[in-house]
Amino acid sequence: MTYCTQQDLADRYGQIKLVQLTDKTNRPQTTIDTVVVEKAITDAASLINSFLGKRYQLPLTVSPPDVLVTYACQIAWFLLHGDTAGKEHPVRLAYADAMKWLERVSSGLVIIEGAGENVAPAGGGQIQTKGPERIFSRDRLQGF
């Protein structure tokens, strides 16, 4: 499941900028390379799922809330920029903001309403090990 579309990116950042980031073959750039855009959207969804999967059953049972679409767009936009987004670049800062939000979701500080049942957190069980009998024990060394 993807959380944003090419149209979402075009609406937020502009058709011209999307053309400039994706069209690597035409000079001057004239068209959006949909393969490049879809790859960024899919990669963003995979990253988001790695966080959401800690708390929610995937795929989500509801359409993605607006906040999730926004953060998916910010992540995909960052992926489209690649190395051109420097340390203090607004695109990198927006990406960092999205990552912080996803960390809050995965830790349970932020809840996605209507997203289905929470997945039980890992842990709570006992660690069980089985190995050979000890060679040196208190009883075997008695008298030494």
How deeply is 19 buried, as exposed, middle or buried, from its count of CB atoms within 10 A (0-12, 13-18, 19+)?
middle
One pLDDT digit (tens) per residue for the chain, 144 residues: 899 999 999 999 999 999 999 988 887 888 999 999 999 999 999 999 999 999 898 888 888 889 999 999 999 999 999 887 777 889 999 999 999 999 999 998 988 887 766 655 555 667 777 778 878 888 878 877
The DSSP 8-state label assigned to residue 56 in this structure reads: B
Predicted structure pTM score: 0.78
Dist CA 17 CA 68 (whole Å): 22
8 Å CB contact between 36 and 19: no
Dist CA 108 CA 105 (whole Å): 5
- The pLDDT assigned to 118 comes to 63
